[in-house]
Amino acid sequence: MGQRAAIYCRVSTADQSCERQERDLTAFADRAGYEVAAIFKETGSGARLDRAERKKAIALAQARQINAILVTELSRWGRSTIDLLNTLRELEGWKVSVIAMNGMTFDLSSPHGRMLATFLSGIAEFERDLISERVKSGLAAAKARGRRLGRQTGERPKSDRLAPKVMALVAEGRSYRWIARDLGISKNTVNDIVKRSPAHAAVRRPDLG
């Protein structure tokens, strides 16, 4: 059986089209002698995590139905250097390469591919350090401005929001179990809301069943 490839196209916004990428990659596959097994087209920014079409291409690779994934640029495939490296390693386990139209092939079973992976690992580590440093810097700057970080002691956003409804249902004689199920919270949360309520002493606790 000849070499089979999946084509993966991605654009960032809905007003863009994958048409040019699909046309160029189809012609590229024909020149390189690949049989196109599937074409996946996606709209979404590079940072998005829910790239359903990319997952389908990976599933095809895992099923050993393709030998390569063709993209116009590596940035179309990887969300970041770290993500690119992780997916390349995953695909290498199934003997599937990622080939960009500029001729760059990532096959981690080859010396050249392993050299590139080592290079990418260094970049990925640098990228992680940069992200960590930005987060720490941002937190420090926010703290310096007097901003309180994280959920503060005593803050219960969801239960505080639901407190009036919980107390109204308790006053109607609804059970804690019923209230918890109806509002999508736990019985313990219902119990805590009632205990914190100023009207707690005046409210008869319904049967827990």
Per domain, the residue ranges of the chain are 4-111, 157-202
**72 CB-near residues (< 8 Å, 6+ apart):** 9, 21, 24, 25, 100, 101
pLDDT for the residue 181: 84
Catalytic residue among 12, 80, 159, 175: 12
Q: Is 12 a catalytic residue?
A: yes
Whether the pLDDT of residue 86 is over 80: the answer is: yes
Residue of 8, 10, 83 whose CA lies nearest to 45: 10
CB 191 within 8 A of CB 176: yes
User: Right CATH number for 4-111 from 3.40.50.300, 3.40.630.30, 3.40.50.1390, 3.20.10.10?
Assistant: 3.40.50.1390
Per the model's pLDDT, the better-predicted residue between 108 and 81 turns out to be 81
pLDDT for the residue 172: 83
149-195 residue pLDDT tens: 555 555 566 677 888 888 888 888 888 888 888 888 888 888 888 88
Strand partners for 39: 7
pLDDT for the residue 107: 64
| Beta strands at 105-106 and 97-100: parallel, antiparallel or unpaired | antiparallel
